[in-house]
Structure 1
Amino acid sequence: MLEPIRSVLGYYWPKLTWKLYYWFMDPQKVTLMLLVVAAVVMVASKPRYRRRMILACLALMTAYWFLLSPLFSVPATALLSSFVPADTGEAADAIVVLDRGGRFQGDRYGQALDMVAAGRASNLLIMGRARGAEVLKAIDDDKRNLSPQMLSAVCVKTTKQEAESAAAALGARGLQKIVLITDTPHMLRAWLTFQGLGFTVMPHAEPLPADVGNRERSLLAIREYLGLVSYGVLGRFQGQSPNTLPEVAKAVADDFPADRCFMTADQIRQEFMLS
């Protein structure tokens, strides 16, 4: 009974949360909707309930504007990061960099290359086809003569898929100690998900760029809180020991075949004609 529900939620949840994110990003649209609801309530409700319903609409409007303010965004983001351990700086088997759209990504790829240059790991797993091309170009342009063993996972859309693809690519090779790089709001859910598959994770949170406003920070935080709840309900944080990571890798191998879901540096170079 639970498995079909998990499957449906796993497919539709990311799409729904991003749709809600972009809708709530428009204060004029949300405020107008709440005003329309308040007007309809005034006309349609019975006089004895009218005042109560109007106050409820006004309370929702006030709550919405509070959620978009620094009064919410700063503590909400800080709470998410407070549960994540600091990066110890130890050497690792691999560096895994999660994808994030556009301006939210910060300098995560530059940080990853700095770690390669510092000798923390020689294996680099980048999530996303286009991101892999960007990183490979940065490696080619870098004057430090970096030569990591780089793979790009190209069949991933969710944090769960990123973790499972990492298990398929790294776990089968006995690479279980990783540096995980993503942005601050996303790190808690990502860290718990990768740990749940048996990785030993050193989280390295990349701050959101300064030009990301409080409204965006608030909605990213809310999305992560919803994600934590949904991943917890779906059992995606259930811990495995490092010894079971090869077994997890075998279990997800069919979902992430090497010939379709991973690209080497040479394959990326050929597809994107990088010189």
Structure 2
Amino acid sequence: MMAGVNLQVLVHQLLGALLLPPFTYLLPIVAALLLLRRRPRLARVLLCSGALLAWLLSLPVTALALNGWLERYAPADLAQVRQTQAIVVLSAGKKPAPEYAANVLSADSAGRLRYAVWLAKRSGLPLLVSGGAPLGGEAEARVMARTLREDYALPPRWVEDKSNTTLQNAQLSAVLLRQAGISRITLVTQAWHMRRALPFFQQQGLQVLPAGTGFTRYDGDGVLNWIPQGRALQENHQALRELLGALYYAIRSLIAG
């Protein structure tokens, strides 16, 4: 299983496991249990801190705040989409589906692809799907291409299936686009991911219209946003992971001068 995992992706996964929930709030709780007899006052502080952090990271109001900061781009305007030359959609994972005896798209990948199809049918623009196999196995772009053909009867014009990171999505997609004489694209990815993804494509000399999807929203408001939810745990984890990724690339850019 590990043989097919990209080393860079593996390192990122391990660092994320150490720096992100649930480890970040389990660590003070475990430390509190170990210190309970020797340092009871400190143990209580650590225990309360861990519990408070776990509660905050399970709240919709926290997810709305964190993702709201990331989701800086408004939904795309269809008239502006029609002024571009192609739609590029980034993958966001796949998973085995025994009922289909094949790989299928993760929820985020499926959401991105559905929105890209919606835009393509209303604009007449060709599609480029981008995504390799960072965790091994079948390339995510291949799963996207199959889904486009079988579920939407809309085969992509380009399939970029070698990239393992967002930066590589941009670099390798740009090669295919330049070969076709395309310089203006509509970029489809998660709204919280666009803040990091869009500059990578602009650095390749492309004019990029952001077309985010999957904006963080909850039905209902007020007191409901202060009640812990499993979905909020996942969305807070994703937001913190994205912020950590942005910090990584900022440091990398600073070191590179």
TM > 0.5 between the two? yes
Distance in 2 (CA, whole Å) between partners of 1:187 and 1:232 is 15
**Structure 1, unaligned stretches of length 5 or more?**
1-8, 239-275
1:216 is paired with a residue of what secondary structure?
A: helix
**Paired letter, 2:164:** K
What is the CA-CA distance between 1:222 and the residue it aligns to? 0.5
Aligned 1:212-251 pairs, distance under 5 A: 213-235=231-253
The answer for the alignment partner of 1:72 in structure 2 is: 62
Aligned 1:114-153 pairs, distance under 5 A: 114-128=118-132, 129-140=139-150, 142=152, 146=154, 148=156, 150-153=157-160
| Percent of pairs with identical residues | 22
Q: 2:170, 2:201 within 8 Å by CA — same for their partners in 1?
A: yes
Distance in 2 (CA, whole Å) between partners of 1:142 and 1:99 is 17
**Cα 1:16–1:141, aligned 2, differ >3 Å: closer, same or farther?**
closer
1:107 is paired with a residue of what secondary structure?
A: helix
RMSD of aligned C-alpha atoms?
Answer: 3.3
**Cα 1:37–1:182, aligned 2, differ >3 Å: closer, same or farther?**
same
Bigger helix share: 1
Looking at CA atoms only, which structure, 1 or 2, has the larger radius of gyration? 1
What per-residue deviation string (whole Å, max 9, x for no partner) do you get for residues 182-234 of structure 1? 11221211112222332211111111698981110010000111111111121
Aligned 1:37-186 pairs, distance under 5 A: 37-45=31-39, 50-81=40-71, 83-89=72-78, 90=80, 91=82, 92-101=84-93, 102-128=106-132, 129-140=139-150, 142=152, 146=154, 148=156, 150-186=157-193
The answer for the alignment partner of 1:16 in structure 2 is: 14
Structure 1 length-normalised TM: 0.66
**Cα 1:40–1:137, aligned 2, differ >3 Å: closer, same or farther?**
closer
**Cα 1:56–1:139, aligned 2, differ >3 Å: closer, same or farther?**
same
Distance in 2 (CA, whole Å) between partners of 1:84 and 1:163 is 19
Distance in 2 (CA, whole Å) between partners of 1:136 and 1:11 is 24
**Paired letter, 2:130:** I
**Paired letter, 1:112:** A
What per-residue deviation string (whole Å, max 9, x for no partner) do you get for residues 155-176 of structure 1? 2221111111112222344322
Q: 1:25, 1:216 within 8 Å by CA — same for their partners in 2?
A: no
What is the CA-CA distance between 1:130 and the residue it aligns to? 4.1
**Cα 1:198–1:10, aligned 2, differ >3 Å: closer, same or farther?**
farther
What is the CA-CA distance between 1:121 and the residue it aligns to? 1.9
Distance in 1 (CA, whole Å) between partners of 2:109 and 2:129 is 16
Q: 1:41, 1:54 within 8 Å by CA — same for their partners in 2?
A: no
Distance in 1 (CA, whole Å) between partners of 2:155 and 2:36 is 67
